[in-house]
Structure formats: C-alpha cells, structure tokens
A and B are shown apart, each in its own frame.
Chain A
Amino acid sequence: MQYRLEKRPEPSRLMLYLSPVAAVVLTAVVGAVIFSLIGYDGVGAVREIFLTPILNPLKWQDLGVKAAPLILIGVGLAIGYKANVWNIGAEGQYVIGGLAGTGVALATRDFSGPWILPLMVLAGILGGMAWASIPALLKTRLRVSEILTSLMLTYVAIQVLNYLVLGPWKDPMGFGFPQTVMFTSSQSLPRVIPGTIVHLGVPLAFLIALIAWLVMSRSLFGFQIRVVGAAPQAARYGGFSANRTIWLALLVSGGLAGLAGIFEAAGPFGRMVPQFPTNYGFTAIIVAFLGRLNPLGVIFAGLAMAVAVVGGDVAQTTIRLPNAAVGIFQAMMLFFLLASDILVRYRLRRVVPQTAGSAA
C-alpha cells in the first residue's frame, strides 16, 4: 500500500490552526525523550518549561513582561513575512530602538514631565525604522537580499551598543561598569498593576497586536501585503507596487522592533547595558511562524514562547537545565510546525497500485 501527497483545492483551515498546537505538543513529548536520552531529567524539563509558568500564579507577571516584546516584534515580522519580505535583523532594530530612546533619556536628564516618555518612545520607533530602512533601501534600489543585510546590521548594532555604553554614554559614577545612568521616573514606563513588574508596555503590546490584526484583515494595506506575498504577478497587474510593499513591511517591522527596544530599556532594564540584546529579535521569528503570520495568532504564540522562556529560567534553577536547552525546544517547535505545514496544503491519499496492462 502506498500513500501519495495530493494538493488540496484550498488550504485546510483546521490544519492551519491545529498544526501550531500539534507542534507544541510534539515538542514537549520528543523533548522529554531526547533530554532523558542525553542524561537530563527529561520529564522534569518539560514540566518546568511548559507547565510551571502556567500553573504558578507568581510567574504570570513574568509571562506578560516576556511576551510583550515577543508579540510586538513578532507582529511586525509576521506582516513582513506575509509579503515575502524576510527581515531577520529585528534584534538589531530592537537594539537601535533602545539606543535611540536612551539617547533622548540622557539628553533630558535635567527635565521632568509627562512629555519625556512619549518622546523616548517616538525616538525608539524611529530608530528601529531607520535601521530597517537600510535593508529596504538596498533591496528596492539595488535588489540586495534583505535577509543578509538585515542580519549583518544586527552585528553592527551590537557594536554600536558596546561603543556607546563603554564610551561616551558610560555612567561616570558607575564604578567603571559599562552602563548608562539609571533613567529617572519621568523616563521610565509606569507599572500598570501595583506590586508587580507589569509595565505599561505590556497592555500596549497586546493592543497594538489587535490593531495590527484589524489593519491586516480589514484594510487595503493588509490586502496589499497579502496579495504581494501570495501572488506577486497578480499584485503587479493590480497596481500594487512591490517596492512600496517592501518599504512598508520593513518600516513596520523595524518600527515595532524599535518600540519593543525602548519599552525594554524604559521598563525592565531601566538603563542601557551591554546585556540589552536578549535574543527577542530572533525568538520573535519563531513566534511569527508559530502564530501563522497572523497578528492574532502571534499573541498566542508570543504567550506560548514566553512560557518556554520563563520556564527555561525556572528549569535552570530547579533542575539545573542549561539555558541553551530552551533554544533547542524553540527550534524543535519550529521544525515540527514546518513539518506539519504540509498537511495544510496537501493531504495524504492512498494510492491503489495499478496493473501494468491498464497503464499502457
């Protein structure tokens, strides 16, 4: 008996929504087996990584704080990937966004007032956009692959960060530590739930994802993005400019990554430090795919990935699982998702072997 893949007339919606769930479940099961095989407590690892953050209410605030940047960056990347614009340098745009906002903070140290924080946020968005506009310019003008340029610029952004915190922006009273001064209270995001670490950026991230979902599903912009990605030829005939779409996709994803950057700087970090790049920009790539490149899906995927990130920290202290294990879980999730993707577009059909005579 043989099976054959057959193209579905239309992508299966059931499989579309089911496959991310299947990917997470498969990751947990296979992860437990693999980690047991290499000598760790595999079942414990899966319990700590996937369940403890959900079951322990004390961890919920961490989930929100970790999910916020992942959702913000993931939404931007999802919009770009939908249009076949492969920005993989969100980490760099996140860093530059954080730096631009920090620049405003350092320049406004002698002032106070409610205008400072919005200005920092604006600078963060513009910083991310500016960094993303380099790949956009090179792609639209010179057809240079945005995959390579956006990634190369991430390494450059990290060097810019190192230069600033080790040099001109170093806190002179910081006992030689490579970091800026602490932000003042008018430069920091307020806490929205008293007694927790949940800052204003967390609800805003969810709100922005919802707005992005509305824009993508209801507006001409969203339609344009989807058409350019799915059928570039048709888009050209329809009068949608490919270059305009590339610019929009990179500016939106860069701006959101920059926003995430300044939210992190003015929120959890409270100053600029060399440890600022925390891989959110790369993890958000997985979040975008896991969320099916749909902003609403990205909210769930961002929360799911935050569970893995928070759980990774838990497992590190409770069962001494190295932090790198989380990266393996994340990659496995993406592998399983991509593997199950084929069932969205194809179905398995049993092939009845034909006799030689009838074939001739």
Chain B
Amino acid sequence: MSTDLLISIIITVVGASTPILIAALGELVAEKSGVLNLGVEGMMLTGAVIGFAVAFVTGNAWLAIAAAALAGVLVSMIFAFLTLSLSANQVATGLALTIFGTGFSALFGQGYTGRPIALFGPLFPAELATHPTWRVIFGYSALVYFSLVMVVAVWWFLKKTRAGLILRAVGENDVSAHSIGYSVIGVRYAAVAFGGAMAGIAGACFPLLLTPQWAERLTAGRGWIALALVVFAAWRPFRLLAGAYLFGLVMTLELYAKAAGGRFSILPSEFWAALPYLATILVLVLISLRGRQSNAPACLGKPFLPSN
C-alpha cells in the first residue's frame, strides 16, 4: 500500500468519525445525568440543515457551526420540556424528536438541494501540511480538533470538577441529589442542552466536512450509531473516542469498496453499505458477551418528580 493511499484513508477515517464522536459525547453527558435522549438523529439533521443554510448565506463556517449548535439546543429543549417538566416517556419523546427533525430538515432544506457550499478548510496554515505525513496531523478542519479537545474536556468535567460530580450524582441517585439540595431537573436541562448543542454541531459536520451540499436525511442513521457507541463505550469518553474511530474505519471501508468496484466484488456493495449497522449490532453483542457489569447510570431513562 502506498503512503499516499494510507494517508488518504486515515484522513477519510478521521472525517467519518468526527460527527459521530461529537454527537456521542453530547449524548454521553445527557445520559450521565440520567436522561436517555433518542432524538440525536433528529437534532443532528436540524443542526445540519441550519448549519448548511447559514454557511450558504454568509459563507462563514464558524457562524454556521454556532447556528447549528444553537438550533440543536432549541430542539433539544422541546424534548427537555416534555420529559423533564412534564415527565413524558423519554423513549417516545426522543422518537418524536427524531421524526420532527427529519421533517423539519427536509422542509427547510428543500430550497438548497443541488447548491454547493465551500468545505470548512484546514485550521492550520497550509505550509504546515505540505508534506503528506504532516497532513495527517495538521491537515484537518477545526471541527476535528474540536472533537478531540471535547473528549478530554468531557472526561475532565465529569471526573475532575464539582459540577461534573453533581451531574453524575443526579444520574446515579436523583432522590439523594435532590434531598441534598441540588436541582435535579435543572442539571438535566443543562445536560440535555449540551447534548443538543453537540448533536447540532455533529450535524453541521456533514455539509461542512464531508459532502458540501444538502441532501435529505444526509446523516443516514449516524445519530443512532452515536447512541449505540455510548453503550459500547460504557459511558467513558476515551473509549468513545476509540469506538468512534472504529466506526469511522468501517464506514471508510464502504467508501473504498464502492470506489474499488471489481476488486471487492465477492461481496455486493449493499453488504458494505449495511456493514456499519451490522457492526453496531455486533459490537453491542460483544460488550454483552464480555459480561462486564453494565456501567449505565442508575437513573437512566427514569422520570423524576420531586413532589413524590
């Protein structure tokens, strides 16, 4: 394998991994606070279409990312209000959020089909990335470095800060956290909002980082893979990083299998397209087979009502 091919594979893997890593980090924090938000896919699509529209109109990728994050927060607040303030079923509300995001993005995005935007270029000056080897380190857009910084930041926040401790307490034992005087609902609102912002940014990665145009349902189930990754990673940020890159590799296989055509012809291209989803199932099975005690937050998915 030539170095050039290897480098281009690495760069593709990084690109494919980044959105699922960002979305999964947001969901991890929400779940750590005890909230299971199945609306990741819907929030990603909302962020994707808003990010695209802002990039198209202003030509400014930073503005697009900020708008996508804000859009993600706004739609996540529908979920938060229903599940936290009205204690609605989290599974059903999350599904509704995904249906909403799918419909909203299709409606909002229909005027943008077939209109290209510019990709979000590398963060570092091109001189740093002239040599192929340096490209692997310095050749990415800011979103990639953001995702990596956020892995450390989320880990640090959950493990090393007082606020992170409170968030985990709320997720592990909401009644105790409430009786000590912490606002369970308030903490969960904040965690859901963070998840929304991250999902929004993850959505914006698709037009800004991968294919610079709008297409309906362009996230193609990546939000659901992010949800599975959180389970896979046993709610640990660094394992999430490993998991996201593993999936990025699987998705890259699909791209290269399609491009290579004949050489992979023992298996049809549909097999490669189904592979990320099959891999998700396989990974969930493997974690379970290993029999490790599940690390899930004890209050995950359960409504909290202080009046009882």
A residues in contact (CB < 8 Å) with B: 4-7, 86, 88, 134, 138, 142-145, 147-149, 151-153, 155-156, 159-160, 162-163, 166-167, 282, 285-286, 289, 322-332, 334-335, 338-339, 341-342
Give the CA-CA distance A7 to B271 in the complex, in Å: 51
B270 close to A339 (CB less than 8 A): no
Give the CA-CA distance A259 to B115 in the complex, in Å: 41
A163 close to B268 (CB less than 8 A): yes
Q: Chain B CB within 10 Å — which of A7, A143, A155 has the most?
A: A155
Choice from A86, A159, A323 contacting B273 with Cβ under 8 Å:
A159
Residue of A nearest to B104 (CB): A328
A330 close to B99 (CB less than 8 A): yes
Chain A: minimal CB distance from B196 (Å): 16
In the complex, which residues of chain A have a beta carbon less than 8 angstroms from the beta carbon of B93?
335, 338
Choice from A144, A286, A322 contacting B106 with Cβ under 8 Å:
A322
Which of chain B's residues 158-210 have a Cβ closer than 8 Å to chain A? Answer: none
In the complex, which residues of chain B have a beta carbon less than 8 angstroms from the beta carbon of A285?
95
In the complex, which residues of chain B have a beta carbon less than 8 angstroms from the beta carbon of A7?
307-308
B103 close to A324 (CB less than 8 A): yes
> 1/0 contact trace for B267-308 toward A, CB 8 Å?
010110110011011001100110000100000000001011
Chain A to chain B contacts (Cβ below 8 Å), 8 pairs: A142-B288, A162-B273, A322-B107, A324-B107, A328-B100, A328-B103, A330-B99, A338-B82
In the complex, which residues of chain A have a beta carbon less than 8 angstroms from the beta carbon of B60?
none
B288 close to A88 (CB less than 8 A): no
Q: Does residue B224 face the partner (Cβ distance < 8 Å to A)?
A: yes
Chain B: minimal CB distance from A159 (Å): 4
A6 close to B307 (CB less than 8 A): yes
A152 close to B99 (CB less than 8 A): no
Give the CA-CA distance A152 to B86 in the complex, in Å: 30
B87 close to A325 (CB less than 8 A): no
Choice from B82, B224, B307 contacting A4 with Cβ under 8 Å:
B307
Per CB-CB distance, the 8 closest pairs between chain A and chain B, nearest first, are A327-B103, A324-B106, A331-B100, A142-B288, A159-B274, A163-B270, A338-B88, A334-B96
Q: Does residue B231 face the partner (Cβ distance < 8 Å to A)?
A: yes
Chain A: minimal CB distance from B40 (Å): 12
In the complex, which residues of chain B have a beta carbon less than 8 angstroms from the beta carbon of A167?
268
Choice from A143, A144, A163, A330 contacting B103 with Cβ under 8 Å:
A330
Chain B: minimal CB distance from A331 (Å): 3
Residue of A nearest to B307 (CB): A5
Q: Chain A CB within 10 Å — which of B99, B270, B273, B285 has the most?
A: B99
A148 close to B95 (CB less than 8 A): no
B281 close to A149 (CB less than 8 A): yes
Q: Does residue B211 face the partner (Cβ distance < 8 Å to A)?
A: no
The interface size of chain B toward A, counting residues with CB under 8 Å, comes to: 46
Give the CA-CA distance A160 to B228 in the complex, in Å: 22
In the complex, which residues of chain A have a beta carbon less than 8 angstroms from the beta carbon of B100?
327-328, 331-332, 335
Choice from B103, B220, B273, B277 contacting A331 with Cβ under 8 Å:
B103
Q: Contacts A152-B280, A289-B92, A342-B86; is A142 near B285 (CB within 8 Å)?
A: yes
In the complex, which residues of chain B have a beta carbon less than 8 angstroms from the beta carbon of A322?
106-107, 110
Give the CA-CA distance A282 to B89 in the complex, in Å: 17
Residue of B nearest to A167 (CB): B268
Chain A: minimal CB distance from B144 (Å): 26
Residue of A nearest to B216 (CB): A324
Q: Does residue B132 face the partner (Cβ distance < 8 Å to A)?
A: no
B110 close to A155 (CB less than 8 A): no
Q: Does residue B21 face the partner (Cβ distance < 8 Å to A)?
A: no
Q: Does residue B38 face the partner (Cβ distance < 8 Å to A)?
A: yes
A335 close to B228 (CB less than 8 A): no
B277 close to A142 (CB less than 8 A): no
Choice from B82, B110, B278 contacting A156 with Cβ under 8 Å:
B278
In the complex, which residues of chain A have a beta carbon less than 8 angstroms from the beta carbon of B288?
138, 142-144
In the complex, which residues of chain A have a beta carbon less than 8 angstroms from the beta carbon of B87?
342
Residue of A nearest to B224 (CB): A151
Chain A: minimal CB distance from B39 (Å): 10
B289 close to A142 (CB less than 8 A): yes
Chain B: minimal CB distance from A344 (Å): 11
Residue of A nearest to B78 (CB): A335
Give the CA-CA distance A341 to B82 in the complex, in Å: 10
In the complex, which residues of chain A have a beta carbon less than 8 angstroms from the beta carbon of B216?
324
Residue of A nearest to B41 (CB): A151
Chain B: minimal CB distance from A285 (Å): 6
A339 close to B99 (CB less than 8 A): no
Chain A: minimal CB distance from B241 (Å): 20
Give the CA-CA distance A253 to B162 in the complex, in Å: 46
- What 17 new A-B contacts, CB under 8 Å, besides A86-B91, A163-B270? A147-B38, A148-B281, A149-B281, A149-B284, A152-B224, A152-B277, A155-B277, A160-B270, A163-B268, A286-B96, A286-B99, A289-B92, A327-B99, A334-B96, A339-B82, A342-B86, A342-B87
Q: Contacts A142-B285, A163-B270, A330-B99; is A341 near B107 (CB within 8 Å)?
A: no
B99 close to A282 (CB less than 8 A): yes
Give the CA-CA distance A151 to B221 in the complex, in Å: 9
A335 close to B274 (CB less than 8 A): no
Q: Does residue B147 face the partner (Cβ distance < 8 Å to A)?
A: no
A338 close to B89 (CB less than 8 A): yes
Give the CA-CA distance A323 to B217 in the complex, in Å: 14
Q: Does residue B227 face the partner (Cβ distance < 8 Å to A)?
A: yes
Q: Contacts A142-B288, A324-B107, A335-B100; is A153 near B92 (CB within 8 Å)?
A: no
Choice from A4, A145, A152, A282 contacting B278 with Cβ under 8 Å:
A152
